[in-house]
Structure 1
Amino acid sequence: MESVESFNCDVCQLSKHHHASYPISNRKSTSPFDLIHFDVWRPIVESISGAKWFVNFIDDCTRVTWTYLMKNKLEVSQIFVNFFRLV
């Protein structure tokens, strides 16, 4: 019988495997605002102003980043609209 340390469990190995959410692309945008990435996050600690969420917008070409704080996750739709009016 093998020892516990040398036991190999396929399910255990697969559960520890990390993969990217989306396929990695080597293609980069060639003009600003051609492709904008965005993501909504919840920080571990609430900000001094009471913000519990934030959204990041990142220009794929220039890597310029904009961050907006939100007290409620529902604010993201209006921030999204305002951001695209800005650009």
Structure 2
Amino acid sequence: MHTLLDKQHRALFQHGHAQRKPNVLDVVYSDVCGPMTTNTLGGTRYFVTFIDDHSRKVLAYALRTKDQVYEVFKQFHARVE
């Protein structure tokens, strides 16, 4: 007797290195997390992360409100440039 699991197989991952973008800030990945159930001592409930694809530089910023993301992105942009 064969089960469905007997007939399944795993797809292989491609070997090799992913192509990074040639210039800093060509592609930036970001994620906003929150609201957290408990505020930090500084009163923040959110945080945002930015990852530059070329340099792999990762920065995280604590936020009180989600509407601060754009201002914080401008800080990230200036710092990575």
TM-score, normalized by the shorter chain, greater than 0.5? yes
Larger relative contact order (CA 8 Å, sep ≥ 6): 2
Within the candidate set 24, 28, 36, 1:36 is matched to 28
Q: How many residues align?
A: 62
The reply to whether residue 82 of structure 1 matches residue 75 of structure 2 is yes
Matched residue of 1:81: which SS? Answer: helix
**TM-superposed deviation, 1:58:** 0.3
Rounded Cα–Cα distance in structure 1 between residues aligned with 2:29 and 2:45: 21
Query: Where do 1:1-87 residues align within 5 Å?
Result: 26-42=18-34, 43-86=36-79, 87=81
Letter in 2 for 1:49: G
Indicate the percent of aligned positions where both proteins have the same amino acid.
26
Structure with the larger helix share: 1
Kindly report structure 1 stretches of 4+ aligned residues shifted beyond 3 Å: none
- Does the 8 Å CA contact 2:25/2:77 hold for their aligned counterparts? no
Rounded Cα–Cα distance in structure 1 between residues aligned with 2:37 and 2:22: 35
Matched residue of 2:75: which SS? Answer: helix
CA deviation string 1:2-48 (max 9, x = no partner): xxxxxxxxxxxxxxxxxxxxxxxx44213333221111111454222
| RMSD of aligned Cα (Å) | 2.0
